Amino acid sequence: MINLLPEPSEIKRIRKRLGLTQSELAKLSGVNQSLIARIESGSDPRYSTIRKIFKALRERIQKREIKIEKIMNKKVIFINANDKIQKAARIMSKMAISQLPVLENGIVVGSLREKNISELLKRQGPNKEKIGDMKVRKFMEECFPEISKNGTLDNVIELLKYEPAVLVKENGKIVGIITKSDLMKLVE
């Protein structure tokens, strides 16, 4: 079996996705930080150096030492419980997302998922006008699970086995959201 390494130009992208500085990567891989900077600038490294760097990056992913705040989306898009389904569908379509946390008086009270709207369409048939005018609160599900900003990636992965999203909290306030697609970014 041939074991091909990614191109050296990928080091910077992967390093940033993992939330590592050049110095942190240098320490993990046993390679000088200035050499990593030169490689990221386009310098042609030795194969053995590239192997060390990619080995360190792989181990970092496998150990899941990635901080939650490095992978979470800090811009959480909410919908109000009294908003209409039409507004929720527009937001989901425009933002290319499949779920929304639902707020009422600034507090998360539920979630609306693409499947809720699909099931509603199936039940109601083509009477789209009436569906669009219905309130989100009538079709929302339970809240997404929440995890502390200081939680572990392993905890997030476990929660995402059963839920499409996890909300991230700090000092009682929602500061981010992590979905299954965010995890896929770690292995790109």
**Each residue's pLDDT tens digit, 65-121:** 667 877 889 999 999 999 999 999 999 999 999 999 999 988 999 999 998 888 877
- 124 versus 175: which is more confidently predicted? 175
Position 49 in a domain: yes
Total-model pTM: 0.63
Give yes or no: residues 54 and 140 share one domain.
no
Residues 145 and 162 grouped into a single domain: yes
pLDDT of residue 149: 87
Short-list 74, 65, 71, CA closest to 25: 65
Same domain? 165 vs 92:
yes
For 17-51, the pLDDT digits (tens) are 777 889 989 898 998 899 899 888 888 888 888 88
Q: Is 77 contained in some domain?
A: yes
Q: Where are the beta strands (DSSP E) in the chain?
A: 79-80, 99-104, 107-113, 146-148, 165-170, 173-179
In-domain check, residue 142: yes
Same domain? For 51 and 81 the reply is no
Does residue 93 lie in a domain region? Answer: yes
Query: What pLDDT is attached to residue 126?
Result: 62
Say whether 70 sits in a helix, a strand or coil: helix
Position 5 in a domain: no
CATH number of the domain enclosing 45: 1.10.260.40
What tokens does 33 get? 């930080």
| Distance in angstroms (rounded) separating the CA atoms of residues 143 and 169 | 13
Query: Looking at the domain assignment, is residue 3 inside a domain?
Result: no
Residue 2 lies in a domain: no
Would you say 102 and 78 are in contact if contact means Cβ atoms under 8 Å apart? yes
Q: Domain range spanning residue 53?
A: 10-63
d(CA 158, CA 183): 12
Residue type for position 148: S
Whether 43 and 84 share a structural domain = no
**102 and 182, same domain (yes or no):** yes
Does 2 score more than 60 pLDDT? Answer: no
What is the count of structural domains for the chain?
2
Which residue in the block uniquely carries the two structure tokens 């191109």?
A: 7
